Amino acid sequence: MGLFMNFVERLCRWMGYVSGFALTFIMLLTVADVFLRLFNRPIVGTFELVGLGGAVVIGFAVPITSWIRGHIFVDFLINGMPKKIRNAFNIATRITGIILFILIGWNLFSYAYSLYKSGEVTLTRQLPFYPIAYGLGICCFIECLVLITDLIKIGGGKYE
């Protein structure tokens, strides 16, 4: 199991780098666009690129955020409960999350296929939408792997 967990962690970290790169690209693109507007030379399609990049930033950041437990926990209700009840609650939420992310990922793949078949592209730059939808679907399935590793940690008594 250590090999599996190591693989998932490295995959999450790689996705975090992709997310950081996309965020840096969005930031530099926006600054360049604002600067070039001073000379009446805006970058065509900035709005589209920022929107697509924002989807990449958010989608690729979800697994690493879950891995490092960087999201907000509202756990004041379960903190005072015995460890068995907390573990049962954590198991139930992880299983629910796995089901939810499988459904979201599946629907994103279905949506991406329909975008591919229809040839849907952005208005200005004519960039296809389907690679972003496929990428977000993959992010959802990788989030399922993170939640599975959480279940393994809970079962091994290493989750706190």
At 160 the pLDDT is 62
Q: Which residues of the chain have pLDDT under 50?
A: none
At 77 the pLDDT is 79
Amino acid at 119: G
Q: How many domains does the chain have?
A: 1
Does the residue 28 lie in any domain? yes
* Whole-prediction pTM: 0.91
At 155 the pLDDT is 87
Residues spanned by the domain of 69: 2-155
123-150 per-residue burial string, b: 16 or more CB within 10 A, e: under 16: eeeeeebbebbbbbbbbbbbbbbbbbbb
Report how far residue 117's alpha carbon sits from residue 154's, in angstroms, rounded to the nearest whole number: 42
Does the residue 160 lie in any domain? no
At 101 the pLDDT is 98
At 47 the pLDDT is 95
